[in-house]
Chain A
Amino acid sequence: MVDFGGWDMPVQYPAGTIEEHLRTRTHAGLFDVSHMGEIDVRGTDAIAFINRLTSNDVTKLVDGQAQYTALTTPQGTVIDDLLVYRLAENHLLLVVNASTTEKDWEWIKSHHSGESVQLSNVSSDYCQLALQGPDAQSILQKLTDLPLAEIKYYHFSPGSVDGVAGIVSRTGYTGEDGFEVYAPADRAEQLWNKILEAGDSGSSTGVLPCGLAARNTLRLEAGMALYGHEIDETTTLLEANLGWICKLDKGDFIGREPLARQKAEGVKRKLVGFEVTDRGIARDDQEVVVNGERVGKVTSGSPAPFLKKNIGFAYVPIEYASVGQEIKIDVRGRLVGAQIVKAPFYKRAK
């Protein structure tokens, strides 16, 4: 167990990270992500208010739809990345990172000025279980009357799972199809056990409980950013390749102006994916070397269990950011060769 944003969480379950990772890609994995924070926003100005604080366009959402977005600083850097769920025109649910929940909560409260909204930090009311992988739908369908096949990617529906009322959302952080179930916190154990049972956990093709390490390797292979690594208050959304959640034409929002300027001028450094070409594994915070010069840093580096490669993300100056560029990573004093490649590293067959 490790401390993760104040939560005691397992790094891995008995099957181990590699098996957990592979099972999620081939069948299904179950993740207890109850550590994620939830902030409830209600009122006639809910959409306008959150639209002013985030970079994506909340007005584009319909009821039952979710959106990936970011809370931005006045400099266009990232306070947090999050999902916004539109439950109704006057009711949003924000799902934020565990380690940043308090910071986000204070930030959102302090930027409330005059809009008609009621804010509540409901993080401790919810548990969240993520069932991910090609078998996720058939497993979860055994426990719910909701027509899961009809829920589209990044959409959700209120409904019951094993008789527990909650929200079922077709979202995830693994690059696989799958669902995230939000339910009252005191029902977490019941849902966890029932999903494992429905997924024939224990058989070699059944669902496996997965820990934090597999969650990290799965999201990395799928090319997804992790707050505190690829993005933080020193990186702008454009540098992090998150221009697609920067809707500069939607009207004013915090950080819009510097982002618009950076877009016009072009970024000076960029987040890139790389594959290690020599023997060795790049790790977080190791330096990137080009022509003998230290030009950047690895934000996440790890073996990729499904791709069977050693991969990572790093920030490098824009002149070295092209696919095919050869770089070196300083792996504890040894310069290990790597090459910039297209991210995501892994894309599931549809």
Chain B
Amino acid sequence: MANVPEDLHYSKDHEWVRVDGDQAIIGITDYAQDSLGDVVYVELPKAGDEFAANESFGSVESVKAVSEVFTPVAGAVVKINESLADEPETVNSDPYGDGWMIRVKMSNPGEVDSLLTAAEYEDFTKAESE
């Protein structure tokens, strides 16, 4: 069973959001990394890039497939996880920790309320894998 931490917000595209003041840290969920398989390459934006909600901000590649990743909330990128360039497998081993992808300054912090809670996301993945 995939791990779904209580304190995060989730999107239907399988990203998670950790709120830190008016900033959001974004990564992909345990369920997503497990479905992708071994991550071999992560393409991330640059600091300063701005994204609307649900916009593609990069891609995660396994041996077999390329998957786009989307911003659950709008904002400007403050920082990216540079270490994923050399250690993309961190996305598999620690998706909610060292495998984080980008930190954005949210343009509308209220947006997180429209995201799924842990319980809702768990139900959503159950329905999706049935």
Contact = CB atoms under 8 A, between A and B. Distances in A.
Contact of B38 (A18, A279, A302): A18
Contacts of A303: 40-41, 61, 63
A217 B59 CA distance: 21
B41 A280 contact: yes
Contacts of B38: 16-19
B93 interface: no
A11 interface: yes
B62 interface: yes
Contacts of B63: 17-18, 21, 213, 217, 302-303, 305
A48 interface: no
A348 to B, nearest CB: 20
Interface residues of B, number: 12
B82 to A, nearest CB: 13
A304 to B, nearest CB: 9
A222 to B, nearest CB: 16
B48 interface: no
Summarize B's interface: helix, strand, loop or mixed. Answer: strand
Interface in A256-284: 279-281, 283
Task: Give the interface size bracket for A toward B.
Answer: 10 to 19
A33 to B, nearest CB: 18
B60 to A, nearest CB: 11
Contacts of A281: 40-41, 61, 66
A17 B61 contact: no
Nearest to A303: B40
A17 B85 contact: no
A333 to B, nearest CB: 11
B128 to A, nearest CB: 16
Interface in B65-94: 66, 85
Contacts of B85: 279
Interface in A199-247: 213, 216-217
A12 interface: yes
A11 to B, nearest CB: 6
20 contacts: A11-B37, A11-B64, A12-B64, A16-B37, A16-B38, A17-B37, A17-B38, A17-B62, A17-B63, A17-B64, A18-B38, A217-B63, A279-B85, A280-B41, A280-B43, A281-B40, A281-B41, A302-B63, A302-B64, A303-B41
**Nearest 4 A-B pairs (CB), nearest first?**
A17-B63, A213-B64, A18-B38, A303-B40
Interface of B: 37-38, 40-41, 43, 59, 61-64, 66, 85
